Structure 1
Amino acid sequence: MLDLGQVRCFVAAATELNFRRAAALLNMTQPPLSRQIHLLEDSLGVMLFERVGRTVKLTTEGRVFLADATRLLSLAEQAESTVRRASKGKTGRVRIGFTGAAGYELIPQLLVEASRVLPDIDVVLLELISVAQIEAFAANAIDLGFQRPLPSRQKLESLLVNEEPLIVALPKGHPLCRYEQIELRQLNNQPFIMHSPTHGKYFYDRITSMTTAEGVNLNVAQYIDQTPTILSLVRAGLGLGILPASAQRFHYDKVEFRSIANNTIQAEMCMVWRADQDNPAVTAFRLMAAEYFAKKAQG
């Protein structure tokens, strides 16, 4: 097994072809350097230098060994740098779960920032609804999640990264389209495309709470998990829907959107992570993301 200290002495001496100057480069005196090279030669069973008076030159074996020795030291330095960067979270892999809403702008913009600040971190993306992300945390399948806030028995921590208002989606030509804003009471007994109480639990709970407080009865025609499908059914005239404002970005034809009058309930997006996670790359990415969203919020 080669001793890297001995190899380093050899490379310095082979580069300088002067033991005194080589020793000075390594911040040592000449006798210890000569001793290290002798030990290396004994280990290899070959002579690496020809010593003629005060001058030295490489033997054939020395010239052959120099190329590999230089490469070995370079790899050792690279490995050392890599492990130090990994310990500081500069390298590694981060598995990120995200909802469709987060995937439209939030995730792409965040990845642009990550490529600038943490270019050596490998990001793996998984598009999952919020409920599925909770399950993915339990299965240790994701490290960070961008999701709607949901209760969990796991020890999860979260940071609010975005809020947006809820709006009403209507099929084009619906009588309510003539209003600039919709009163919740105007939705009473209207056919309604509702988020699923299981997979769409976050929006189901918020919409139900909001309409119940106003004494509004929603005539639910269908329960659906995903925003694009809700919009498709609204476009087909099968009912109205209440969705986050970001749903407008899907640009469905024959669907119009109206704000809800006097509504203060927002759709929240959170960055979520396990409280007990100890991956330096995840911590570095999370802190970078937190700083990015804080700056974005300040404008």
Structure 2
Amino acid sequence: MEFRHLRYFLVLAEELHFGRAARRLAISQPPLSLNIQQLEASVGARLFDRDSRGVRLTAAGRAFRESATALLAQAEAARALAREIEAGAVGRLRVGFVGSMLYRGLPQYLRDFEAAYPGIQVALTELNSQEQIDALLHDELDAAFIHTGRVPDALQATLVHSEPFVCCLPADHALAARTELPLSELRSEAFVLFSRQASPDYYSRIFDMCASQGFYPQIRHEVRHWLSVVSLVSQGMGVAVVPAALARSGMAGAAFRPLAGTGVRSEVYCVWKTAPDHPARDNFVAMVRAEAGHATQAGSQVQA
């Protein structure tokens, strides 16, 4: 039995006339008769009565008509779903992110993607950079936003955000009255630092920044989330060096000041696994790369 047989059967069941059915199917009458005979042989039952009074569905034919209609509808739905999945228009997308991405464009990326692909269900998971890399390698995430571009060969990475580091101080700290600070001014301060386990790159980058200014940071607390860093600083538990975007967190009690004389940038990369095939992920990555590129160009024009 083939889907062609079912289509021919359903048209004949509507027309109850071999000539009219053949014209609708754009074939001649003999092939139609042959296909109906093949279908009846395959089913093992007579589906039509044919005599001088015309063509009629048998009881078996009437029952088979319902099943044939459902089968063809399911087949069409399956074809449509396959086309939509191939186009990346339906399905599920699992996206990991570091907390600072909430202030670095992630909400806008999601709004734009969901507007363009309403059939894609996006599931977010907040993890540190290393956890996201592991999740990508184990196919537990489809795309991720992390703090490093150094990733295993199985992954691809593209830079989507770059900005300066700033100093985060308690609002009542004496240095908060300054409009700009050299990092060396913090040499005697207790630091709240992003955990080395959570992001080795960030940890070493801040250490290297301090070392270039002739000191090593006195670490009082290590935490796993950027907002925890800012929260502890806001409560007078130390100072921190954080990405500039965190100044938009609106955390009461924290002050953010530009750092003078440091060219080190805070970067975020979009990362994904090159296999297996995932059209929805590819559409998401393409959109993020395009929007990140536009943002970079706009920033360059403003600075110029």
C-alpha contact (below 8 Å) 1:96/1:143 kept by paired residues:
yes
Mapped to 1, the partners of 2:177 and 2:286 lie a distance apart of 46
Instruction: Give the counterpart letter for 1:6 in structure 2.
Output: H
1:13 matched residue in structure 2: 12
Gaps of 5+ in 1: none
Structure 2 unaligned regions, length at least 5: 299-304
CA distance in 2, matches of 1:210, 1:115: 39
Q: Which range is displaced more, 66-75 or 286-295?
A: 286-295
Distance 1:263 1:144 in 2: 31
Q: Over residues 191-220 of structure 1, what are the superposed CA-to-partner deviations in whole Å (9 max), with x where a residue is unaligned?
A: 221222332322222222222222244332
Q: Tell me how far 1:276 sits from its aligned partner.
A: 4.2
Aligned equivalents of 2:64, 2:276: Cα separation in 1: 45
What is the aligned partner in structure 1 of residue 301 from structure 2? none
Cα distance, 1:150 vs structure 2: 4.8
Q: Distance in 1 between matches of 2:59 and 2:21?
A: 20
In the TM superposition, what is the alpha-carbon distance from 1:154 to its structure 2 partner? 4.0
Paired residue for 1:222?
Answer: 221
Q: After alignment, is 99-108 or 76-85 more displaced? A: 99-108
1:1-299 equivalent positions in 2, closer than 5 A: 2-53=1-52, 55-104=54-103, 106-298=105-297
Quick one: which amino acid aligns to residue 39 of structure 1? Q
1:133 offset after TM fit, Å?
1.4
Residues 44, 108 of structure 1: CA spacing in aligned structure 2 closer, same or farther, 3 A cutoff?
same
TM-score, normalised on structure 1?
A: 0.87
What SS does the corresponding residue of 1:93 show, helix, strand or coil?
Answer: strand
Indicate if the aligned counterparts of 1:93 and 1:282 stay in contact, CA closer than 8 A. Answer: no
Q: 1:163, 1:267 within 8 Å by CA — same for their partners in 2?
A: yes
Matched residue SS, 2:150: coil
Measured in 2, the distance between the counterparts of 1:49 and 1:17 equals 9
Give per-residue Cα distances to partners, 1:85-137, cap 9 Å, x unaligned.
33444444332221111245633322222223333334332211112112223
Give the counterpart letter for 1:10 in structure 2: F
In structure 2, do the counterparts of structure 1 residues 116 and 33 end up closer, same or farther at CA, with 3 Å as the change threshold?
farther
How high is the TM-score relative to the length of structure 2?
A: 0.86
How many aligned residue pairs are there?
Answer: 298
CA apart distance, 1:141: 2.2
SS at match of 1:173: coil
Q: Distance in 2 between matches of 1:21 and 1:288?
A: 51
Distance 2:137 2:62 in 1: 57
Aligned to 2:302: none
